Amino acid sequence: MKLIRVADAAQAGKVAAEIIAQKIKSCPDCVLGLATGSTPIETYNNLVQMYRQESVDFFRVRAVNLDEYIGLGAEHDQSYAWFMRQYLFDHVNIDPANTYIPNGLETDSDKECRRYDAVIESLGGIDLQLLGIGPNGHIGFNEPADTFAKGTHRVDLTEATIAANSRFFESIDQVPKQAYSMGIQNIMHARQLLMVATGENKARAVRDAFRGAITPWVPASVLQLHPDFTLIADEAALSLVLDKL
């Protein structure tokens, strides 16, 4: 694992965007695995800026997202489909036909999970997967559990995640209780992984994931096994591990 220490969230977004832009330059039709949450917003802002300065071109890029809430359609303003348009897709020249995200309105979860795995396979897998980390160590929506989920699956969100994500909704009751998420195997098969972790509320998750045992109870801990994993983290997120990573 490679660690890039940064001063703060703004710098983390800059560094992550540069790595993604570099990937696009070396492979203009690359498959980017994208993430949501507040952390990647800085990364997307920087990518949009680079696009406007003509230093990155999304024309042939394919993008596949990690997860989506069950019950929210793409037109719901808290859906991850909406988030991606709001922060990235509407501002760059990516072809919407080349963007993929689980369909939160599909009620047949087996069918939707098989469909999404087939999408990832048909794209030839993921070249670079961007990740955030939940305060409980989740990645995508792979929640702490007694096994690692392989492919795309339906998740019952934990109370901790519902509470953490309630800040984006008018009330906690409006937060969906389930989601579709890529599995750990989908993520681990990505050729390159890039995680951004900033802020003190990620310090415990960073410590448990990268200093502790590899266990599905801390889903991000599995990333220790990936051959090309980079963590971009600020001092606050690293505060419980100091120089030991």
- The residues of the shown chain that bind ligand GLP, judged by CB under 6 A, are 35-39, 66-67, 132-134, 140-141, 161, 165
Q: Minimum CB separation from ligand GLP for residue 37, in Å? A: 3
Annotated active-site residue 138? The verdict is yes
Q: Minimum CB separation from ligand GLP for residue 185, in Å? A: 17
Q: Which two tokens stand for residue 73?
A: 């359609």
Annotated active-site residue 42? The verdict is no
Return the number of the residue (28 or 175) whose C-beta is nearest ligand GLP: 175
Catalytic residue among 98, 138, 142, 186: 138
CA-to-CA distance for 43 and 197, rounded, in angstroms?
12
Separation in Å, CA 158 to CA 113, 138, 141, 211, 245: 20, 10, 10, 23, 28
Annotated active-site residue 170? The verdict is no
Q: Minimum CB separation from ligand GLP for residue 59, in Å? A: 26
Annotated active-site residue 112? The verdict is no
Return the number of the residue (60 or 85) whose C-beta is nearest ligand GLP: 85
Separation in Å, CA 136 to CA 8, 183, 216, 220: 21, 17, 11, 9
Residue in the block written with tokens 């939160």: 104
Q: Minimum CB separation from ligand GLP for residue 25, in Å? A: 26
Catalytic residue among 42, 112, 117, 143: 143
Catalytic residue among 42, 67, 68, 112: 67
CB 65 within 8 A of CB 101: yes
In 3D space, the residue among 150, 197, 157, 205 whose CA is nearest the CA of residue 177 turns out to be 157
Phi and psi at residue 139, to the nearest 5°: -125, 140
Return the number of the residue (36 or 221) whose C-beta is nearest ligand GLP: 36
In 3D space, the residue among 22, 191, 33, 154 whose CA is nearest the CA of residue 99 turns out to be 33
Return the number of the residue (38 or 54) whose C-beta is nearest ligand GLP: 38
Task: Kindly list the catalytic residues.
Answer: 67, 136, 138, 143
